[in-house]
Amino acid sequence: MPARKDISKILVIGSGPIIIGQACEFDYSGSQACKALKKEGYEVVLINSNPATIMTDPEFADKTYIEPIDKEIVKKIIDKEKPDAILPTMGGQTALNIIRELNKENYFKDCSIKILGASPRSIDVAEDRKLFAEAMSEIGLETPFSIIVDDKSDLNKIVNEVSFPLILRPFYTLGGTGGGIVYDKDDFLSKVKNAIDLSPVSKTLVEESLIGWKEFEFEVVRDSLDNSIIVCSIENLDPMGVHTGDSITIAPALTLTDKEYQKLRNQSIAILRKIGVETGGSNVQFAVNPENGRILIIEMNPRVSRSSALASKATGFPIAKIAALLAVGYTLDELENDITKVTPASFEPVIDYIVTKIPKFNFEKFQGTPSELNTAMKSVGEIMSIGRTFKESLLKAFYSIESDNFGLDISHELLNIKDENLKNLLTNQRPDRLLIVAEAIRRKIPLSEISELTYIDMFFLREINEIIKIEQQLVKAGSSLEKNLFIFAKKIGFSNHHISNLTKISINEIYDLQEKNNLTTVFKRVDTCGNEFDSSTAYLYSTFISEINEFSCESRPKNKKKIIILGSGPNRIGQGIEFDYCCVQAVRSFQKLGYETIMINCNPETVSTDYDTSDKLYFEPLDFEYVKNIIDKENEKGVVEGVIVQFGGQTPLRIANKLKEYGYKILGTSFEAIDISEDRERFQKLIQKVGLKQPKSDISLGTKELVTKSSKLKFPILLRPSYVLGGRMMEKMANLDDVQDYIDQNYWALENNVILIDEFLQNAKEVDVDVLRDNQGNTMIAGIMEHIEEAGIHSGDSACSIPPFSLNNKIISDIKKFSISLVNELKILGLMNIQYAIKDDEIFILEANPRASRTIPFLAKAIGLPFIKIAAELIVGKTLTKEYQNFDNNTLPYFAIKEAVFPFNKFPNTDVILGPEMKSTGEVMGIDEDFYLAYFKSQIGAGQKLNNLKNIFISVKNEDKQSISEIAKSFIENGYNLYTTKGTHDFLLKEGVSSNLVNKVAEGSPHVVEYIKQNKIDLVINTTEKKQAIIDSFTIRRTSVDLNIPYYTNLRSAEILIKSLITLKNKPISVKPIQNHHSF
């Protein structure tokens, strides 16, 4: 059936801010869907609160609402736009939840809106544990046994109905306290009682234990005629118990016979049919007992998912695009396979390579949470690698992940660990488990024993064993490395850098050895068909083949002018979707200018790694060797004009020096300028020349001189290692004791590093500025953004407003002046981001980044100008128009506010206080003519539950007390109840504000944390400093996070919030698409 004619306007719901478990894969799927639907002639209305996404670019939808994805807001948009249909299956759990909430209100009962993809009923069955288990049993499939126990008197009855072992998961206990395995009846009675006691809500989950079971996933696509295909199977290297998002996963499944594979295939299709996913993509997860093949259904997602993004990249089959077209009535046989262009979409992709996904973790940013994996996802990003063998694929994955240690090397801290302790670590599900496995193999612990401890399949262990054997041969060979072993190592998948590391032969000599022996890398195509048909799509990966013929390499470089764009690698805190936005925009711009665009990246979640984003996609590690191979290959025919390093965050800058050393051209800002801005001394000279001030600072080489150098500056000071992103390990020190603690905690990371020491400016305002410059020296200020929080909180974690809301004209014009002189001095070509602090009307520079920044996508959406497109044009020699040079964004008739979104709920026991080290995973934008409403929108967009606030708890540090009295007065005048602890209470009383006194935790029951747990507090305002006070008030903040109660740890935001709440009383929230806001 062709596309439906009974609908013409479709509302697509996006997934909102990037959070753990819901990242930029939904930008990838959502933008594919929007593109496909628009191309079919539908009018697309989009709601997504996340300005960093590509899908919220004005051209992707006819109407783009960057508004909070909230039930009431969605209703307002529906009222205004009157869409014929809603597509909720592209926006992750967020979008499905909106449909569930609306359905609960019977919202769809009286309106004619069609829900495409999955019906509200099928969403309910898939999401509700009980309904799902029932549905599965109706089609003869098993789900793991699972019950919630909240009544201790039931235990004697239940104990006779269960089989062991079981797993306990008490609700809301810190770090899963009280949870564990139960082996028999006696165990059961005592442990379940204990678990119920420990849980603040007196409830525990009791589940069948699947310890040691294997986990598989199937990606299914189904159409309205009940045609189904499996796009990809995925095998988790990690056993059950590790969230699949945190697991190392392999595609396709490798340890299943056809009999077992077909069983899972049949069940996957039967499940989609039963749940009633009428059209589109779904993901089914299985647990398989490796002892006997017994299969249990873990879950199914009636929507595209992180796994479907991975499956799309792994196979070349665009699941989201096809799912969107199926949702509007097409059937699989009517659609073309985009990659081959000769086969239909109904054909099941086959692959002739191995794909490995490795998740990226940021545990180091969340002190208090142990680095252990469980069923709650913790990873913040991932990479994918493609190789012709598992070994090659795994090694490439390790070269892609940008970790602190190299290849399969164990981290420094564990280098001297005893064998017995190492074995203990093997039983833990740690983020670095494969490195521990590799070390165990080096120490000759038998593979069978490792398998028993880790439950990792012997196949994978044997493969890692082979890698370690070669590693050891390379170490043994050292400087006398022979050609045969070198070729052999290359065939296994070792990179030159790795070989150099192991043999201690200099990297340049390794390149010489390779060139001398005429050993070149070849590129193969991802073609969905195992080379059965010719593929015109240039989606490529490298492999090493020693015997080359005319069919070995499938890169087929064209005789064109080319530009290579380096992507940003794995998402991590500090470097996320924003940079993918930049890369994709740059690709589009260069394409329009007539260049062949070549993208290199290894992040499967992104739009940049979609095969039709660039003219050519190389799915490769962003390591110099892989980039070099591609440039050399592309230079065989046509000309690579240069490599772009300024759109991919810090990742491409890491190899900029090597590119320069080997004589490859970097387009845009020169390596020289990059070096100046990264080099402390050179940068200081530059800012002196420009006439700028900087907080007093020093550097320390390693930790030895850190204490002495620190003591010469005025505390508080900031410490951080140089060359880091997202303020990694950047911490504020109140005194020398703090410095000593800092050294103790980070010794290994600091030891061989330069550590930067800065005096900290207390209570200063912070400002972010993005500037463009062309090769004639013309400049454009893209935006001056004022932070809501004071300086000292990482710019990525601060809310900020465009235009600035409290800076005077003199400051603004001075900032402009300084920024322009700085970009001119550095001869920036393209973009630069500068951060300033303003203290008592004095301007200090904090940082300058000679590249596109995190704030550029936000600015582009807020203002409506394609800054990346402009920057790309400047890079290839165009000049700024007069209009752009005179552009002044301070006259906008509205405010756009960016707010950060944090993953604290995933990291139990971690404090939520913000500081110089970035912790947020995502951002949202609130836009409105009224500053306070824009702020309010940004807050609900970020997930704060601000409806029906009544009881406000306030506890602030001494220096904030003066300012809090105004805020407290406002709350009371507007009918809120205030609860305060002693210090704040007494101070307010003196100021004539009366509030309800509650105990601090240390003062005993009934105390504030009990109030929070009993739902007596709706909003927490808590500012604090000094170690002991922070420790004392920790549970207040932590409980708020755990129970999803809005909290503010910063006075400036609390102040704006109360004004927002007051504004809201007289002015209802309205919605407006950005296309109507923009005046450009």
Partner 1 sequence: MTVLDNKTKLNYQNGYLIYNKKYIFKGKFLSKDQFKIAEICFNTSMTGYQEILTDPSYKSQFINFTFPLIGIVGCNNEDYESWKIHASGLICNELFELSSNWRAQTNFTNWIISQNSCAFFDLDTRAVTKIVRNFGPKNVMLCTEEYFENKGIEQICKQIDQSLSLEENDVIKDFTSELNIEKQEIGKKKFSIAFLNFGAKDNIKKNLYSRNCKIEEFDMNFNAEDIINKNFDGFFLSNGPGDPIKVYENIKLELNKLLNKKIPTFGICLGHQILSLAFNASTARMEKGHRGGNHPVKNLETNKVEITSQNHGFVVLDENFPSNLQITHKSLFDKTIDGMKANDQPLFSVQYHPESSPGPHDSRYLFDEFINLMEKNAG
> CB of 237: closest distance to partner 1 in angstroms?
12
Compute the half-sphere exposure of residue 766: CA atoms within 13 Å on the CB side of its CA: 25
Which lies closer to partner 1 via its Cβ, residue 252 or residue 850?
Answer: 252
Element (H, E) at 437: helix 433-442
Sign of the C-alpha dihedral, residues 397, 403, 405, 406? Answer: positive
> CB of 260: closest distance to partner 1 in angstroms?
8
Query: What ranges in 642-725 are assigned the alpha helix state H?
Result: 650-653, 656-661, 671-678, 680-690, 706-711
Which lies closer to partner 1 via its Cβ, residue 420 or residue 547?
Answer: 547
Sign of the C-alpha dihedral, residues 1060, 1066, 1072, 1076? Answer: negative
Which lies closer to partner 1 via its Cβ, residue 252 or residue 926?
Answer: 252
Which lies closer to partner 1 via its Cβ, residue 356 or residue 614?
Answer: 356
> CB of 227: closest distance to partner 1 in angstroms?
4
Residue 943 phi, psi (nearest 5): 105, 5
Which lies closer to partner 1 via its Cβ, residue 255 or residue 1063?
Answer: 255
Which lies closer to partner 1 via its Cβ, residue 80 or residue 263?
Answer: 263
CA 38 to chain CA mean position, Å: 27
Element (H, E) at 701: strand 697-701
Which lies closer to partner 1 via its Cβ, residue 176 or residue 290?
Answer: 290
Query: Quick check: helix, strand or coil at residue 1018?
Result: coil
Residue 698 phi, psi (nearest 5): -155, 170
Element (H, E) at 447: helix 447-454
Amino acid symbol at 373: L
> CB of 604: closest distance to partner 1 in angstroms?
19
Query: Quick check: helix, strand or coil at residue 644?
Result: strand
> Which residues bind to partner 1, rule: CB under 8 A?
225-227, 229-230, 252, 254-262, 265-266, 290-293, 331-333, 343-344, 346-354, 388-391, 457-459, 462, 466, 469-470, 488, 491-492, 524, 529-532, 545, 547, 549, 551-552
Distance CA 611, CA 349 (A): 15
**What b/e readout covers 64-81, taking b as 16+ CB neighbours within 10 angstroms?**
bbbbbbbbebbebbbeeb
In this structure, what token pair is assigned to residue 555? 């890169």
Pairing of strands 63-65, 43-47: parallel
> CB of 530: closest distance to partner 1 in angstroms?
4
E-state strands within 377-464:
381-387
Q: Nearest CA to 48 among 17, 90, 76? A: 17
Distance CA 329, CA 2 (A): 6
> CB of 546: closest distance to partner 1 in angstroms?
8
> CB of 501: closest distance to partner 1 in angstroms?
20
CA 293 to chain CA mean position, Å: 35
Q: Are 659 and 626 in contact (CB under 8 A)?
A: no
Query: What ranges in 850-891 are assigned the alpha helix state H?
Result: 856-863, 867-875, 882-885
Q: Which residues pair with 204 in a beta bridge?
A: 149, 170
Which lies closer to partner 1 via its Cβ, residue 235 or residue 786?
Answer: 235
Distance CA 152, CA 421 (A): 38
> CB of 690: closest distance to partner 1 in angstroms?
56
Compute the half-sphere exposure of residue 114: CA atoms within 13 Å on the CB side of its CA: 15
Which lies closer to partner 1 via its Cβ, residue 354 or residue 838?
Answer: 354
> CB of 268: closest distance to partner 1 in angstroms?
11
Q: Tokens 């499905």: give the residue.
A: 96
Q: Nearest CA to 587 among 571, 559, 556, 566? A: 566
Which lies closer to partner 1 via its Cβ, residue 522 or residue 617?
Answer: 522
> CB of 213: closest distance to partner 1 in angstroms?
12
Which lies closer to partner 1 via its Cβ, residue 225 or residue 997?
Answer: 225
Which lies closer to partner 1 via its Cβ, residue 81 or residue 334?
Answer: 334
> CB of 533: closest distance to partner 1 in angstroms?
8
Within 8 A by CB and 6+ apart from 206, the residues are 146, 147, 148, 149, 158, 162, 166, 167, 168, 182, 192
Distance CA 715, CA 791 (A): 15
Angle (nearest 5°) at CA 542 between 541 and 544: 150
> CB of 312: closest distance to partner 1 in angstroms?
17
Which lies closer to partner 1 via its Cβ, residue 230 or residue 666?
Answer: 230
> CB of 451: closest distance to partner 1 in angstroms?
9
Which lies closer to partner 1 via its Cβ, residue 352 or residue 841?
Answer: 352
> CB of 469: closest distance to partner 1 in angstroms?
6
Pairing of strands 951-955, 1019-1022: parallel
